[in-house]
Chain A
Amino acid sequence: MKKVITSNNKLDTINLGKSLGSILSIGDVVTLTGDLGAGKTTLVSGVAKSLKIKDTIQSPTFNILKCYFDGKIPLYHIDAYRLEEVNKDIGLEEYIEGNGVAFIEWPIFIKELLNIPHLEIEIKNKGNDKREIILKSNDKHYVEIIRRLK
């Protein structure tokens, strides 16, 4: 199943994150691909809002993993950008298969940890503030989530 949603500005992307956050549950895994500045972290900040997380979401590019425990359910935000060609054996699977929802930017660098069903989101920059957001999954659970998203 595949769905394409157009975002015309930052707020659209945040709102998509909010609706996604409101239907995700513990154990769900979402990968985010797209160029630098596409809007991956922006989408996660919308998810955090709907989970009632108070902290501001910042790109965990330098710390690889950030956990937010103060919301309705734990949110794990992984940015694997810095894990290219280094030892990835740092226990990330405990978050990907953890007690919360996991969002993973640059999943290509931790492919070996993603042999589990997940929702794939790709964000394409269409110039200025316009983005094409593509949601994909073959797994039943995530197909249902895609279906429920507007």
Chain B
Amino acid sequence: MIYLLLDSSNTLLSVGIKKDKKLLDKISYPCFQRQSEYMIVEIDKIFKKNKLDIKKINGVMVSIGPGSYTGIRIALTIAKVISYALNVPIYPISTLEINKLINKDSIVLFNARSNRSYIASFSKNKRLLKDQVMSNDKVMKYINSHKKFHLIGDLSYLSLKGETIDVLNNMNALFDSIKPIKDPNKVKPIYLKETYL
């Protein structure tokens, strides 16, 4: 069984191929705000390099946010088109979740701008905080009351240092916990911010 893994919901562009239980190949690099120009190119390259036919894949796993407004829509739109054209299911997963440390205690954070963060937390494999937007004041309090937790993400906006996670390895590891969705129209991005008007 072959699956395509996609993530562009943050600063990285990540494309992977999962073959049975293993991550067969991957490419991942910083590409903030430009993933739309390169994602298709990278998908094409990785399939050619591994001498695989994209038409034979069994599904697409994709992170659906919360994260960059445009970023989450790039990978998701590509996943939907592939799902529709090849009649294969989508495996949608939270962007915060693919950044957690598996089997450890972690707080995952991204800058949501306007003095807010996207946050989720996990203890071992149990979820503590569901994906949400939180003011940075509250975030700092939460961090200070969970001192033993690993902090994950680019936290320079909070003047903190966070760990970086290999998202494709994580997607591969979390694959079995995700329910496939056959109808691409049923998969929606998670944005979480209020609308302004």
Q: Tell me the complex Cα distance, A14–B1, Å.
A: 58
On whether the beta carbons of A94 and B114 are closer than 8 Å, the reply is: no
Question: Quick one: given A91-B69, A112-B196, are A99 and B114 in contact (CB under 8 Å)?
Answer: no
On whether the beta carbons of A91 and B196 are closer than 8 Å, the reply is: no
Which of B33, B69, B111, B197 is packed against the most chain A CB atoms within 10 Å? B33
> What are the interface flags for B69-103 relative to A under an 8 Å C-beta threshold, 1 for contact and 0 otherwise?
11000000000000000000000000000000000
On whether the beta carbons of B68 and A89 are closer than 8 Å, the reply is: no
On whether the beta carbons of B114 and A115 are closer than 8 Å, the reply is: yes
Chain B's interface size range is 10 to 19
**Chain A, range 80-138, C-beta contacts under 8 Å to B:** 85-91, 93-99, 112-113, 115-116
Q: Tell me the complex Cα distance, A85–B193, Å.
A: 19
Q: Which of B33, B69, B196 is within 8 Å of A99, CB to CB?
A: B33
Which of A89, A91, A96, A98 is packed against the most chain B CB atoms within 10 Å? A91
SS class, residues of chain B in contact with chain A: loop
Q: Tell me the complex Cα distance, A91–B195, Å.
A: 10
Neighbouring A residues of B34 by C-beta, 8 Å: 69
On whether the beta carbons of B197 and A86 are closer than 8 Å, the reply is: yes
Does B141 sit within 8 A of A, measured CB to CB?
Answer: no
Neighbouring A residues of B111 by C-beta, 8 Å: 97
Q: Min CB distance, B142 to chain A, in Å? A: 21
On whether the beta carbons of A113 and B114 are closer than 8 Å, the reply is: yes
Q: Min CB distance, B44 to chain A, in Å? A: 22
Q: Min CB distance, A116 to chain B, in Å? A: 8
SS class, residues of chain A in contact with chain B: loop
On whether the beta carbons of A88 and B197 are closer than 8 Å, the reply is: yes
Chain A's interface size range is 20 to 34
Q: Min CB distance, B187 to chain A, in Å? A: 19
Does A11 sit within 8 A of B, measured CB to CB?
Answer: no
Question: Quick one: given A85-B197, A87-B195, A88-B196, are A93 and B33 in contact (CB under 8 Å)?
Answer: no
On whether the beta carbons of A87 and B197 are closer than 8 Å, the reply is: yes
Does A23 sit within 8 A of B, measured CB to CB?
Answer: no
List 29 contacting pairs A-B, 8 Å CB cutoff, sorted by A: A69-B34, A74-B33, A85-B197, A86-B197, A87-B196, A87-B197, A88-B195, A88-B196, A89-B69, A89-B194, A89-B195, A90-B69, A91-B68, A91-B69, A91-B70, A93-B113, A93-B114, A94-B33, A94-B69, A94-B70, A94-B113, A95-B33, A96-B113, A97-B113, A97-B114, A98-B33, A113-B196, A115-B114, A116-B114
List the 6 closest pairs (A to B, CB-CB), nearest first: A91-B69, A93-B113, A89-B195, A97-B113, A88-B196, A112-B196
